[in-house]
Amino acid sequence: MAKFTAAILAATAASASAFAPTPTTTTTATTSLSEFANGMVGSEGPEPMPFRWDGSKTSVDFDPVGFAERAPEWLNWFREAELKHGRQAMLATVGLVVPEFVRVPGAQFSFDAIPNVLDAHDALLDTSMKQILLWVSLAEVMTLGALSNMNEFDRSPGDFGFDPMGLYPNDPKKQEEMKLKELKNGRLAMIAIGGMITGSSITGHGFPYL
């Protein structure tokens, strides 16, 4: 149990660092496209594996639909959306597993009332889910100003200046490494949460959904 609790705390700390401030370097649509996606992190590929027969596109600078080329003025918005969904997915993966072992106080949250965590959505539709919707809506409203002026001031995508634990390093190289870690873990979590929900739905079992 101690090891499991430590794992939860580590995951929580990692998700907290997701909101750490990023350098205030502005990336605008006027940046040369010779640098893929305005030089944002996350375009690296482990091997230049081609996914077009002529070899013109590889896993490096992976953009099969061509968003970066067709809509460079939306690049910051794309990255903001990717980070937001990745952060939500990282929290969701933890939130789907933890209730399999620990529940908050209250008869309506007990293992007897909700044996399968996936059933919590419908079971708590008139109570807890409304509160979650309220807080999520509030968070979305608070970001509208930043999103509406994405390219108008020195704010990097995903930067809300939230770093209560001081995890964001001062060294620019370390900053790039942390941003890349957050992005990759977020991408992995987006895929993982889909697999976890699908597995739970098909098998009817909780973690590990077998």
Q: Tell me: pLDDT of 10 over 60.
A: no
21-25, 61-65, 89-93, range with the lowest pLDDT: 21-25
C-alpha distances in Å from residue 108, one per residue of 55, 59, 65, 116, 123: 57, 47, 46, 13, 9
Q: What is the pLDDT of residue 148?
A: 72
CA 58/CA 52 separation, integer angstroms: 7
C-alpha distances in Å from residue 3, one per residue of 7, 8, 9, 90, 209: 6, 9, 10, 19, 21
pLDDT average, residue stretch 112-133: 87
H helix intervals, 25-66: none
pTM score above 0.95: no
Q: Tell me: pLDDT of 20 over 80.
A: no
Reported as a single tens digit per residue, the pLDDT across 148-200 is: 776 776 778 888 888 889 888 999 899 889 999 999 999 999 999 999 999 99
Contacts 24+ apart (CB under 8 A), 9-14: 11/90, 11/94, 12/94, 13/165, 13/167, 14/90, 14/185
**Average pLDDT value over all residues in the chain:** 77
Q: Could you give the percent of the chain with pLDDT greater than 90?
A: 23
Confidence category of residue 56, pLDDT binned at 50, 70, 90: low
CA 20/CA 27 separation, integer angstroms: 18
Confidence category of residue 46, pLDDT binned at 50, 70, 90: low
Instruction: Check residues 208 and 17 and name the one with the higher pLDDT.
Output: 208
Q: Per mean pLDDT, which of 32-41, 66-75, 98-107, 152-161 is the most reliable?
A: 98-107
Residues 193, 92 contacting (CB under 8 angstroms) = yes
CA 95/CA 200 separation, integer angstroms: 14
Q: What is the pLDDT of residue 118?
A: 87
What is the DSSP code (8-state) at residue 41?
A: T
